[in-house]
Structure 1
Amino acid sequence: MGYGGYVSAKLPPPKPSDVEAAVQAVKSLEAVEMIHKLIYNCTVQPKEEKFRRVRLANPKIKSVLGDAAGAVDAMVALGWALEEAEGEPVLVVPSGKYMTMQQVRIVEAARDKLSKDLKDQVRHNNVSLMA
């Protein structure tokens, strides 16, 4: 019960920011987990060059990020720059720019929401199969 016995108002959820919308557009849990790992490493160790550069030609990265719709766009929205180096595409954190824990939290929230949605979808499919 709210103040004076009134039921509290249900407000619509706030509109997601451009970054949140880009990360939420990725529907592959594996891709969101990899985005989380890459941005977390870059946030925790900002001076380490190996965490500030991701080769999209790498087989593991290509299979997870390159094949997932919107994954590279989400990385660009998070602050990475898509460049060409030695004839292959590379995601790079521009010099002078650093990732923040706020960006990590955005990816974590999207990962948790996607995981919950996938579990709910499986649960609903199992219930409908049993009926």
Structure 2
Amino acid sequence: MGYGGYVSAKLPPPKPSEVEAAVQAVKSMDAVEMIHKLIYNCAVQPKEEKFRKVRLANSKVKAVLGDTPGAVEALTALGWSLEEADGEPVLVVPAGKFMTMQQVRVVEAARDKLAKTVKDSHRHNTSSLLA
């Protein structure tokens, strides 16, 4: 019960920013986990060069990020830039740009929302099989 016996107002959720919308558009849990790991590593160790570059030709990265719709777009929305080095595509954090913990939290929120959606859809599919 709210103030004075009134029910609290149910406001619509705020409209997501461009970055939040780009990350929420990724529908693969593996891709969101990898995006989280890349952003987190860049935020925690901002001067470590090995965390500031990702080769998209790498087999694991290609399988998880390259083949998932919206994953590369989400990383570019987060501040990475798509470049070409040695004839292969590379995602790079530009010089002078640093990842923040706020960006990490955006990815974590998208990960949690996707996990809840997957769990709910799994629960609905299981309950329909039992009926």
Mapped to 2, the partners of 1:76 and 1:62 lie a distance apart of 16
AA aligned to 2:95 is S
Q: SS state of the match for residue 26, structure 1?
A: coil
Instruction: Identify unmatched segments of 5+ residues in structure 1.
Output: none
Q: Does 1:96 align with 2:99?
A: no
Mapped to 2, the partners of 1:33 and 1:75 lie a distance apart of 12
Mapped to 1, the partners of 2:65 and 2:19 lie a distance apart of 17
Mapped to 2, the partners of 1:39 and 1:118 lie a distance apart of 23
Mapped to 2, the partners of 1:9 and 1:113 lie a distance apart of 23
Q: Normalising by structure 2, report the TM-score.
A: 0.99
% same residue: 80
Q: SS state of the match for residue 97, structure 1?
A: coil
Name the counterpart of 1:109. Answer: 109
Name the counterpart of 2:86. Answer: 86
- The aligned length equals 131
Q: SS state of the match for residue 57, structure 1?
A: coil
Q: Does 1:4 align with 2:4?
A: yes
Instruction: Identify unmatched segments of 5+ residues in structure 2.
Output: none
Name the counterpart of 2:60. Answer: 60
Mapped to 2, the partners of 1:58 and 1:39 lie a distance apart of 18
**Structure 1 moving runs of 4+ over 3 Å:** none
Q: Normalising by structure 1, report the TM-score.
A: 0.99
